Structure formats: structure tokens, C-alpha cells
Chains A and B, each alone.
Chain A
Amino acid sequence: MPLDPGYFDYPHRSYGMDHDFYDWSMLADRKPVEWPGNARVALWINVALQYFPLNQEGQPFPPVAGMTTSYPDLRHYTLREYGNRVGIFRLLKAFDRYGVIPTFAVNTRLAERYPYLMNKICVRGDEVICHGWDMDTPHYGGIDAGEEAKLVKKSLRGLREITGQPVEGWIGPSKSQSMETPQLLVKNGVKYMCDWINDDMPYPFRTDAGPIIAMPLSTELEDRFIMHHNLHSETEYAEQMIDAFDFLYKEAAEQGGRMLALSVHPWMLGQPHRIGKFEQVLEHITGHDGVWSAGAGEIAAAWAKQQD
């Protein structure tokens, strides 16, 4: 049996992308971006505050870093909760010591469960963005449209009520999306989303409900990806962060402002044997002139102001 003749149809084989979400564009060809204070590198440290339910269903795919053993997986449940109880406070101290401004991506279910932690963050005044409902509630191709609309609304409304912030940024659990997610975000007042990892800078993204900014939050530079997925050591993590910063710092001198998007997880970096390596990374970065540490929304806004 040969393949169906339709396998040889290429309906999108023409200029640009094979979808309408954004235009094809090479970073090196774009107008250089100027950050406030002529900074070379905008530093976006994105802290994921995640709730992994013990009764994980894992449909249609399991959450990244979720439960793996038979129920009840106390091992992974508590390893993740460690971050929310202990690790986060080590990270907060590190941020304050080096004067960097974090952004918190929060599962709304976590915000409901841990008012003490949310109050702590809100008093600090750092930006909170929505990380979806919980880690076991992905957005995906095939999700019921009405169900997803309710899910987006519920997640954003709940987090806005708890934080009192406008909550204008979004990261889906496990960076998951359906084809409809971007327009649902626009309809619910979200100005930027961080799920698409196809660039090192913000770029314009379109939906049927209007534009949204794509703020790529690198997976390759993520603490979880490097140490939990690739199984590199914490020393090697620090080397890679430093190499990444040095590279972008140099590229920015030639091509305009760059963004270093570091995704960190308190359950990963907040362990006693890892936090020191992260502090070394912060020390290296903040030891340079021309680093602008800011919330993701501020970075997105600074970029947006320079677009035509």
C-alpha cells in the first residue's frame, strides 16, 4: 500500500510561514532595539511557581516534571512542593542580594492554596503572570473550545483577584497551547505570552482577536531543562548561563539590545547544593554594566514602544 496521494500535497509551500500567527523574519535583519539606559542586555528572570496535583491525569500528555510513579507519587509531589515551601525563599534572598527583579509565573491553583507566599510576592511588588490553572491542566490541540475559554478566564480572573495585579502575561503549563489559545488570551486581556521559543527577542504575533506579543522564554537555558532533562551538573549549568550571557552581551554591542530570558524553578535551583551556583551566575551578570533587570511586562512594553 503506497501512501495516500494527499501526502504529496504541500499547501503551504510558499513564502513565509506555514501558518498566519506571525511573519517570517530573521533577528539579524531587524531594527536594533534600545533598552532603557542604553542597556545591552535585558535580564528577565522568570520564576515558575507550580502546583503538580498528586492525582495527575496526564491527558493528553503528562506535565513536564510531573508525577511519574504509581499513585500516590509522594516522591515527586514533595520534590516539587519543596520549591514552594523552601526553595523559593532561597531564591528571593538571592534576587535581593544581587538586586535583580524577578517575574513570577504562577499556577492559579497554587495562588489559591498558598496565600502566605502570594502575599509575600505581592508586597515585594514583583510582576505576576499566569501560568495556567495547574500543571496537570494543559492547553492542547483538540481541547473543547468552550472548556478552554472557561479555563483561560478562570485562571486569569482568579490570579487577578488574589494578586490585585492586572496579570497581562501568560505561560501555559508545560508551554502548551491549542490553535485557539492565543486569541483566548487576547480576549481576556493578556498582552504577552511566553510559550513560543522560536526567537531570542520579543516579536509581534497575531490572532483573530487582535495582536499579542510573543516573549520567548528559552527552554534551552532553563534550569530544569539543563539539570533535570539533560542531567548536567549545577557547575555546568552555571557555565552555560555565563556563556549565554557573555554571548548576548557581545552580540548586543553589534546588533542592538538583547534579552536574556532565564526560566528558573524553585524546586530545582532552590536546593541547597544548587543555589550557590545560581548566585554565581547572578554575580557574573550583575557585575557588568549595561544590564537591565526588569519584569517581563516592562521588557515587553519597552520593546513594543519601538515597533512601528
Chain B
Amino acid sequence: MKEDPGLFDYWPYDNRPKIEWPGGARVAFWVAPNIEFYELDPAVNPHRKAWPRPVPDINGYGTRDYGNRVGHMRMMRVLDKYGVRGSISLSTALCAHHPEIIELCKERDWEFFSHGIYNTRYTYGMDEAQERSMIVDAMNTIKEHTGQQCSGYLAPALTHTETTMSLFAEAGGIYTCDLFHDDQPTPVKVRGGQKFISVPYSLEMNDTIAYAVNRIEPRRYGEMIRANFDRLYEEGRESGVVMCVPLHAYQVSHPHRLKAFEEALEYITGHPDVWVTTGREIAQHFIDNYYDAAVADIDAKAA
């Protein structure tokens, strides 16, 4: 184990090279629906239990299945209404289980990125060959079912090894959603030296963190999203920032919750200088235009 993940150097949010988003937008805004499949009786990982109760833990399982049966269509209607294309954090086994959902997302030109194969298969304990094979399996599944080259990664259930980022970059990925250290895209060091970056994917704005971990009220969730946006929109006058709202249809789409999110989305998309986009488009724009300047500035500030 290491004291520091070795993925990035300290880079103060102060006098950085200015980022300009397309159309002069101040905020690159993206919504990342997690479309997940949790198994009722998954293979056992010695490092993490899948469910608190003995199998079948129908509470945990049913909670997640609600998202696919009920929540997905509700969330999709709201995103459609405000012209938001989702960037899907996908349990890629869902391509086999629920292809109808994949088709609906394809019709809308949503982005698919990898969230592993199942959200009940954890990376802990995998050796390098095993993790590579899991990463490649998931990316190939996306290619096969959607035609898209997978660009981004959110590790399944946020379980990692020390080499996760390098393995994903070697497999052709360009961005990770697993790091929560910044409000702008930042270079991530991988052993192969690929131009690989972190695109901010906020845990603070994540509905599961808000509802299931922090246990907040739905209307407050809407207020938090708006406050987060207001401050970033203000700061974005100086240099472009990123705002992400990660969603789970099994949380946000409950009948007592969806309206609060919808109102927040209406608020954000009602502002003129917002680039409503996807994770891949943000990553590509940053890599093409700012990656080299960012690395130079990080090096200069470390010196």
C-alpha cells in the first residue's frame, strides 16, 4: 500500500491556464445516469460482501431492480424534456439482461461508458490479468451492443486496485470518473504515459450519496444542485468548470423525488452559458486543447 495513489500532483485551483468551453460556456454540464445490474446471488468476493442479509437480500436487490423496471423511463422523460443526453455509467451485463433500455439510450445518442460488468462484482483482490480481462470484457460489450468505443470508466461499485487507471488507459480509455479532487478536468498519470484525464463526476451531487448515504430530503437535493450550479456558473466566468449530476433511476425516480430534480434541471438548462454535454465530449475537448498546458502548469507549480 502507498501513502499517495500516485495518480496526480497537487495542482492548486489558482492561476490555472484558462479553459474555454465551446460557445463560450462557463459550465460544462453533464448528467451521468448509472444503469446498473445487481445480482441476486453473486459470486463471493472475499474482500467485500455484496449484500448485508443472507441471499436472497430482496430489499437491496428489489431497491436496485426498481430503477430498471420503473425509474429508468421516468428519468429519461425528464432528461428528454430538457435536452440532456445522458452519459451512462453502465453495468455492461445489462446489455444482455435488458437490451430494451440500451436501445432507448441508443436512439437518443447517449454516451455509454463502463461501470464494469455487474455492480456486484468487485475489483478488490483481482490480479492484473484478471482486472484487465474484466475491463476489456466490459469495453468490448459496449462496442458490440452500441457500436461505441468506450471512453470512460467508473469502476464497478467504486472498487479499484493500484493499477486500475493504467489498465483502463492501456485498453483505450481516455477518462476516469473515479476521482473527486477537482471541479475541472485534470491529467491523471498512468504508467503507459497516455493522455488520460479525470472528468469531474461529483459524489456530492450523486443521488445515491445524497439519498442513501447522507439521507437528505428530496427538496433539499434540488436546492443543493442549484447552489452547486450557481457557484460554478459564477466561477466559470474566469475559466471553464465542470458540473456533473450522477443519477440512479432507483433513487431519483421515486414519485416523491423526481420533481425536485426536474426543477433543478430546468433551472440549470435555463441559463445561457451552459454547455450541456457528455463525459466523452468534455474529455476530448480538454485533451485536444488543454492537456499539454495543464501538464506544463502542474510541473511549473511543483517546481
Contacts and interface: CB of A to CB of B under 8 A. Distances in A.
| Secondary structure dominating the interface of A | loop
A223 to B, nearest CB: 12
A239 to B, nearest CB: 7
B100 interface: yes
Contacts of B97: 13-18, 24
A162 interface: no
Interface in B84-140: 93, 96-101, 117-118, 121, 125-127, 129-130, 133-134
Nearest to A197: B62
B178 to A, nearest CB: 20
Given A15-B99, A198-B65, A247-B258, A229 B215 contact: yes
Interface residues of B, number: 55
A77 B216 CA distance: 28
| Residue picked from A15, A16, A178, A198, most chain B C-beta under 10 Å | A198
A175 to B, nearest CB: 6
Contacts of B43: 4, 6-7, 9
B98 A27 contact: no
Contacts of B69: 24-27, 198-199
B52 interface: yes
Given A18-B39, A26-B68, A140 B54 contact: yes
Contact of B53 (A29, A176, A220, A244): A176
B45 interface: yes
- Of A176, A179, A197, chain B has the most CB atoms within 10 Å of the CB of A197
Interface string A138-149: 001110000000
29 contacts: A2-B129, A3-B125, A3-B126, A7-B43, A7-B45, A8-B133, A8-B134, A9-B43, A14-B96, A15-B96, A15-B97, A17-B65, A19-B40, A24-B68, A24-B97, A24-B98, A60-B54, A141-B53, A196-B62, A197-B59, A197-B66, A198-B62, A198-B64, A199-B70, A221-B255, A229-B215, A240-B218, A243-B260, A260-B255
Interface of A: 1-4, 6-10, 12-19, 24-29, 60-61, 140-142, 175-179, 195-200, 216, 218-221, 229-232, 236, 239-241, 243-248, 251, 260
